[in-house]
Structure 1
Amino acid sequence: MKTLVIVSHPTVEESGSQQFLIQSITSPPLEQVTLHVIEQAYPDGQIDVKKEQQLLKDHDRILFQFPFYWYSSPPLLKQWQDEVLTEHFAFGYRGNKLKGKEFGLILSVGIAEKEYQSGGQEGYSMSELTKPYQALARKTQMTYLKPLVIYQFAYLSEQAKMEVLVKYQQYLTLAKPDSLKSREEWIKKELNAIDYETLPVENASFVIEQVIELLEDNRMELDELRMHIDNFHD
């Protein structure tokens, strides 16, 4: 699976959250992931429509990554949508070039998650506020993925930021990013790929093996619980 991450931010070089995410997939580069910062690609705002459409055709998962300003995207990404997602390409007669692809959002917001609900400061859920993008996916016959929303990045602890990093890389690379089993397999794969000798922790290989064993034990318990629930429903 090839993933295209379309980043939009008017001052991306100055954004702590965007630089954190970008560096996590460029140093070292993630395989099968293309990073595309449109403000850097088109500083004059003159979008190469054919080039952008070819990029879309060349990838299987299309992700918009941007700060959620006034319940929408930065202006260049909106311009990009207007100019690139044209009739006969993305929709309409023979406009099926995006059919079957996946579409998702990676949003950074400056307000706490609890405020995005009825009675909260914002008054609406994130699912409600992203309806236009859900409609975009439906119009272009793409499968809409549950968004990855990063709340108040600047206030996160280092551990919380690392958790965001893991979720981000999984969102970009996992075939089923919402699946608990897929996420567990991803973690096991990453742990198995670690060069133990480079770790400063004594007996690092033993510790990592214990973590993998714990993940597998928990998976067995969850599978057994699901089986009992299914039997109960039967």
Structure 2
Amino acid sequence: MKTLVILAHPHLDASRVNRRWKEELLNYPDEITLHELYHEYPTWTIDVSKEQALVEAYDHVIFQFPLYWYSYPPLLKKWFDDVFAYGWAYGSTGDKLKGKKMGLAMSIGDKKENYQPEGSVSFTVEEVIAPFKASLRHVGAEALPYFAVFGASFQASDEKIDQSAISYIDHLFRYKK
């Protein structure tokens, strides 16, 4: 079973983490298909039929992105709004995502300790991604544990980022079964 990684980063060239993760993903062309939304849709006009067919072809889908203001980048949100359509993803005839394993891989700019009830964010990552998990439950998909690297904005060393790329691949392979 191949994995589809939907990469949504509006400024990938400026990203240390997501760019490095992309480089690592490309080392596994037989196991991983990479689909870059900002490259594919620079005008934000999403080909819904094409995207639905792509997602239907995979049982394991990962959404990779930087956490922006405690949510997804805007094109990824639009992608969900357009692609997870009534009659396809949910509703009386919407069963195309039922049983698929889906998860998140996020670069998070802030420190991990700030994503605690007593931290400056006051919410855990699990709480921040609750809308994603609720959406997956609504469409009958299985929400996988998330993968994240913290301190991506300023603290992560090149060594930490390189190690996170290896750990990311391990995470993908662990949950694709």
Range class of TM-score, shorter chain: over 0.9
Per-residue CA deviations over 1:91-118 (Å, capped at 9, x if unaligned) read: 1111111111101001111110011011
Quick check: 1:90 aligned with 2:112? no
Structure 1 segments unaligned to the other structure (5+ residues): 178-234
Q: TM-score, normalised by structure 1?
A: 0.71
Q: For residue 52 of structure 1, what is the amino acid of its counterpart?
A: E
Classify the secondary structure of the residue corresponding to 2:61: strand
Partners in 2 of 1:162 and 1:79 — Cα distance? Answer: 30
The answer for the alignment partner of 2:119 in structure 1 is 120
Shift of 1:163: 2.8
Q: TM-score, normalised by structure 2?
A: 0.93
**Number of equivalent positions:** 176
Per-residue CA deviations over 1:3-60 (Å, capped at 9, x if unaligned) read: 111111111122111110000111x334221101101001111110000000100001
Going by fraction, where is strand more abundant, 1 or 2? Answer: 2
Quick check: 1:64 aligned with 2:63? yes
Going by fraction, where is helix more abundant, 1 or 2? Answer: 1
Structure 2 segments unaligned to the other structure (5+ residues): none
Partners in 2 of 1:10 and 1:143 — Cα distance? Answer: 27
Classify the secondary structure of the residue corresponding to 2:93: coil
Shift of 1:62: 1.2
Classify the secondary structure of the residue corresponding to 1:160: helix
Give the CA RMSD over aligned residues.
Answer: 1.5
Quick check: 1:101 aligned with 2:94? no
The answer for the alignment partner of 2:137 in structure 1 is 138
| Higher RCO, Cα 8 Å, sep 6+ | 2
Partners in 1 of 2:155 and 2:103 — Cα distance? Answer: 25
4+ aligned runs moved over 6 Å, structure 1: none
Q: For residue 104 of structure 1, what is the amino acid of its counterpart?
A: G
Quick check: 1:17 aligned with 2:20? no
Shift of 1:134: 0.6
Partners in 2 of 1:158 and 1:12 — Cα distance? Answer: 16
